[in-house]
Amino acid sequence: MSLLEVTGLQVSFNTADGVVRAVRGVSFAVDRGRTLGIVGESGSGKSVTAQTLMRLTPDATIRGTALFEGADLLTADGRAMRAIRGAEIAMIFQDPLSSLHPLYKVGWQIEEMIRAHEPAAGRAQARKRAIEMLGLVGIPQPASRVDDYPHQFSGGMRQRAMIAMALALNPKLIIADEPTTALDATVQAQILDLMRRLQGEFDTALIMITHDLGVIADMADEVLVMYGGKPAERAGRRTLYYRHHHPYTKGLLESVPSAAGEGGRLKPIPGQPPSLINLPTGCVFHPRCPYVMDRCRTDEPPLDPVAGDDPAHLSACWLPRTAAGRGEEAERIRAAAVAEGRFGAQGAAGAEGAAGDGRDGGPPGRAGGASGDGGGR
């Protein structure tokens, strides 16, 4: 059994405008020392998934199970959850100020968390640990910075302090929700590097949430691509980058800034994410999909295995699942699309890419980083 096993998670909110179906059947598992990347555009249900696991969505209607070491997080009582949060599962948020209290010294906040979970630890011992943790995440002169207030730290330092706090109790699982989005590229790379190093050292399981596939290109063992509250595709990292099946994954890869390369053009996915109150019929991606077929508008594709050498490769798309089938289908769709005048030469070329074997659909800018490592750690 995996450290965390989420099965059939559904989360909805009753609002004045109607029921927001934020998460509509998500399943995944994470083991110790492994990293799961959860990727998707804004509003795809990534944060709601994470917050629900931590029981931070009190106003939601929740279905499914989330077994952490065999016990269901979704039905655990308040006391059990307080013991789990921080000590067993820690969460790092996009905005460190949402977890760091502005009126208390950074070190004091780390000390308090240690003492809340380990009553036997004295104040001096907790302070020593807080200083150690700040040093570990690369805060210079931690013995004096421990008495700084959050506003005296830079954005990157606050994010490091959050990581220090998340690691202070040596949790088995860390959920990082866009931990570097607000930071500039250099600091972002340093923080990701740090997280990867510490994860290896402590054998922590990591769920890394991001809207940018580039962020997890070097990091994730497995990737779950979410669209409209549901998984569009799930696969090992290399499969996802080089042999993806779902047109939405292809679109996300083409919108990765580094994929455009120097002087290259970024291709955002045209159209808007769906309304979670009035979902489209059939495939939820069909209004934006360049490969849309008649059945896509009426029948919802199940998340099923894709033929290939990755048994864990699943995709929710009606396009053929074998490379040969995808090639033929791509040609048929391309010809139909051009005949109908739906696409110019560029769109037609794109159609071949996604429905072919996907090798040409990889992230050109990340090829060096994502290949050459022999596939996973």
Ligand X SMILES: Nc1ncnc2c1ncn2[C@@H]1O[C@H](COP(=O)(O)OP(=O)(O)OP(=O)(O)O)[C@@H](O)[C@H]1O
Q: Would you tell me which residues interact with ligand SF4 (CB under 6 A)?
A: 246-247, 283, 285-286, 289, 291-293, 296, 301, 317-319
CB of 100 to ligand X, least distance (A): 19
Judged by the rule CB under 6 A, the positions of this chain that interact with ligand X are: 13, 15, 20, 22, 40, 42-48, 59, 211, 276
- Give the tokens for residue 194: 């740090």
Looking at the Cβ atoms of 3 and 317, the one nearer to ligand SF4 is: 317
Using DSSP, state whether 26 is helix, strand or coil.
strand
CB of 301 to ligand SF4, least distance (A): 5
Looking at the Cβ atoms of 134 and 316, the one nearer to ligand SF4 is: 316
Number of chain positions touching Mg ion (CB under 5 A): 1
CB of 157 to Mg ion, least distance (A): 23
CB of 333 to ligand SF4, least distance (A): 8
Looking at the Cβ atoms of 242 and 318, the one nearer to ligand SF4 is: 318
Looking at the Cβ atoms of 43 and 96, the one nearer to ligand X is: 43
Which one of Mg ion, ligand SF4, ligand X, none is in contact with 317 (Cβ closer than 5 to 8 A by kind)? Answer: ligand SF4
Looking at the Cβ atoms of 125 and 181, the one nearer to Mg ion is: 181
* Inter-residue contact 97 to 140 (CB < 8 Å): no
- Select from 6, 26, 10 the least CA-distant residue to 68: 6
Looking at the Cβ atoms of 28 and 248, the one nearer to ligand SF4 is: 248
Please name the residues in contact with 125: beta carbons below 8 A apart, sequence gap of 6 or more: none
Please name the residues in contact with 36: beta carbons below 8 A apart, sequence gap of 6 or more: 28, 30, 205, 206, 207, 208, 220, 221, 222, 223, 224
Residue 199 makes contact with Mg ion by CB under 5 A: no
CB of 22 to ligand X, least distance (A): 3
Backbone angles phi, psi at 5, to 5 degrees: -130, 110
Whole-number Cα distances in Å, 271 to 143, 279, 289:
51, 15, 9
Which one of ligand X, Mg ion, ligand SF4, none is in contact with 292 (Cβ closer than 5 to 8 A by kind)? Answer: ligand SF4
Looking at the Cβ atoms of 241 and 318, the one nearer to ligand SF4 is: 318
The DSSP code for 85 is B
CB of 299 to ligand SF4, least distance (A): 8
- What is the rounded distance in angstroms from the CA atom of residue 50 to the CA atom of residue 18? 23
Classify burial at 58, counting beta carbons within 10 Å of its beta carbon; exposed 0-12, middle 13-18, buried 19 or more: exposed
* Inter-residue contact 253 to 363 (CB < 8 Å): yes
CB of 246 to ligand SF4, least distance (A): 6
Binding pattern for the stretch 276-315 against Mg ion, x by CB under 5 A and - elsewhere: ----------------------------------------
Which one of Mg ion, ligand X, ligand SF4, none is in contact with 108 (Cβ closer than 5 to 8 A by kind)? Answer: none
- Give the tokens for residue 363: 């992230």
Which one of ligand SF4, ligand X, Mg ion, none is in contact with 68 (Cβ closer than 5 to 8 A by kind)? Answer: none
* Inter-residue contact 23 to 11 (CB < 8 Å): yes
Strand pairing category for 71-72 and 60-68? antiparallel
Binding pattern for the stretch 34-53 against Mg ion, x by CB under 5 A and - elsewhere: -------------x------
Looking at the Cβ atoms of 121 and 293, the one nearer to ligand SF4 is: 293
Which one of ligand X, ligand SF4, Mg ion, none is in contact with 286 (Cβ closer than 5 to 8 A by kind)? Answer: ligand SF4
Looking at the Cβ atoms of 126 and 220, the one nearer to Mg ion is: 220
Which one of ligand X, Mg ion, ligand SF4, none is in contact with 164 (Cβ closer than 5 to 8 A by kind)? Answer: none
Q: Could you tell me the sign of the dihedral formed by the alpha carbons of 305, 306, 307, 309, in that order?
A: negative
- What is the rounded distance in angstroms from the CA atom of residue 89 to the CA atom of residue 242? 32
Strand pairing category for 18-30 and 89-92? unpaired
* Inter-residue contact 139 to 164 (CB < 8 Å): yes
- What is the rounded distance in angstroms from the CA atom of residue 200 to the CA atom of residue 137? 14
CB of 282 to ligand SF4, least distance (A): 7
- Give the tokens for residue 221: 């063992």
Interface residue list for Mg ion (CB under 5 A)? 47
